[in-house]
Amino acid sequence: MTEILMEDLALQLVERSKGILAADESTGTIKKRFDTIGVENTEENRRDYREMLFTAKGVSDYISGAILYDETLRQQASDGRSIPQLLEEQGIIPGIKVDMGAKPLAFSDGEKVTEGLDGLRERLADYYQLGARFAKWRAVIEINDGLPSTYCIETNAHALARYAALCQEANIVPIVEPEVLMDGFHSIDECYAVTETALKSVFDELYKQRVVLEQMLLKPNMIVSGLQCPEQAEEDEVSAKTIYCFEQTVPASVPGIVFLSGGQSEEQATANLNKINQSGSHPWELSYSFGRALQTSALSTWQGKKENVDAAQAAFIKRCKLTSLARDGELSEETN
């Protein structure tokens, strides 16, 4: 793969009409997904499933980059090409999840801190050799009964910044992902307050640790009601509060904000993204880095069967197309 400046690569990932496919589920998480369709969690099945997504005809019209799990970055497609090579030949930039997951935070009330900094410099050098040009690190922040604590927010922000600095040193664009979980009974305003505090803390750490903002992307949650909250906010409120939150916290030099879907349905995630992109112009591109909201239909159509591959690819491309329209603010009610 050719050398490209990190600021150019960041812009390429959030090019108009395109966004990122998060296909970096850990072996444990993909098992949960496969369990829903009764497919055994073998290395071959994981490869076949991902290969099906990456080779869908027209995928690069909508997908600029794909985040992979370590195993996938090292895997070969059924025709013998490496997966990063297959992606590059499709015009998709390979990315890599580099965190080692959220682990219990010492002396906290059940909160988590993301691990994976030890040896990261060496792993990043290896990932670059294997073709990865951008990376992801996800911090998890839960809203629940007095949580999150400042301790949890600050510890995770510090780790995110350490990761981001190491990525840039290795010529890899970091995606910085502080995810405020949707799970819970909290209101949209509680989601707003926690997300604002978390983002302020993250950008404070990024600044202190000399991370170049033009060479990164932010991957946040949208500002939404908790999944179990009886009063669910509509798209207009989600869009207004999400944008306002970024105006308060995200410097204009950050080139792009790529949302996670976080447990929203495919339709809800695209409807919200569409509204957000209809809200006028902003300093950052507002795009997607969805996992479930791009894959749910494809996975349930596939069912692990060869004869379903064409239909599953069609279902995947349909979601890609609708998400791409939403990223441009051009989705209409009939099309979603």
Active-site annotation holds for 306: no
Taking the alpha carbons at both ends of the chain, their separation in whole angstroms is 36
Burial class (CB in 10 A: 0-12, 13-18, 19+), 31: middle
User: According to CB under 6 A, which one of 133, 292, 319, 327 is a site residue for ligand 13P?
Assistant: 292
What whole-number distance in Å separates Cα of residue 104 and Cα of residue 115? 10
- Sequence-distant (≥ 6) Cβ neighbours of residue 90 within 8 angstroms: 54, 55, 59, 60
Q: Which is nearer to ligand 13P, 112 or 138 (CB)?
A: 138
Q: What are phi and psi of 263, to 5 degrees?
A: 105, 0
Q: By CB under 6 A, what part of segment 296-335 binds ligand 13P?
A: none
Q: Which stretch binds ligand 13P (CB under 6 A): 101-109, 120-128, 237-245, 287-295?
A: 287-295
For residue 251, cis peptide bond before it (omega within 30 degrees of 0): no
Q: By CB under 6 A, what part of segment 51-80 binds ligand 13P?
A: none
- Which of helix, strand or coil describes residue 139? strand
> Looking at 51, 111, 142, 177, which residue is catalytic?
177
Q: Which is nearer to ligand 13P, 192 or 290 (CB)?
A: 290
Mark 142-171 with x for binding to ligand 13P (rule: CB under 6 A) and - for no binding: ------------------------------
Structure tokens at 188: 């949209």
Q: Which is nearer to ligand 13P, 92 or 307 (CB)?
A: 92
User: According to CB under 6 A, which one of 262, 272, 277, 326 is a site residue for ligand 13P?
Assistant: 262
- If one asks whether residue 291 binds ligand 13P (CB under 6 A), the answer comes out as yes
Contact 207, 250 (CB under 8 A): no
- If one asks whether residue 261 binds ligand 13P (CB under 6 A), the answer comes out as yes
- If one asks whether residue 22 binds ligand 13P (CB under 6 A), the answer comes out as yes
- In the numeric block, the tokens 């990525």 are attached to 167
Structure tokens at 102: 């959220």
Q: Which is nearer to ligand 13P, 222 or 233 (CB)?
A: 222
> Looking at 136, 219, 241, 275, which residue is catalytic?
219
User: According to CB under 6 A, which one of 18, 33, 138, 158 is a site residue for ligand 13P?
Assistant: 138
Residue 62: Cβ within 10 Å count: 23
Contact 261, 269 (CB under 8 A): yes
Residues at the contact surface with ligand 13P, assessed by CB under 6 A: 22, 138, 177, 260-262, 290-293
- Which residues form the catalytic set? 177, 219
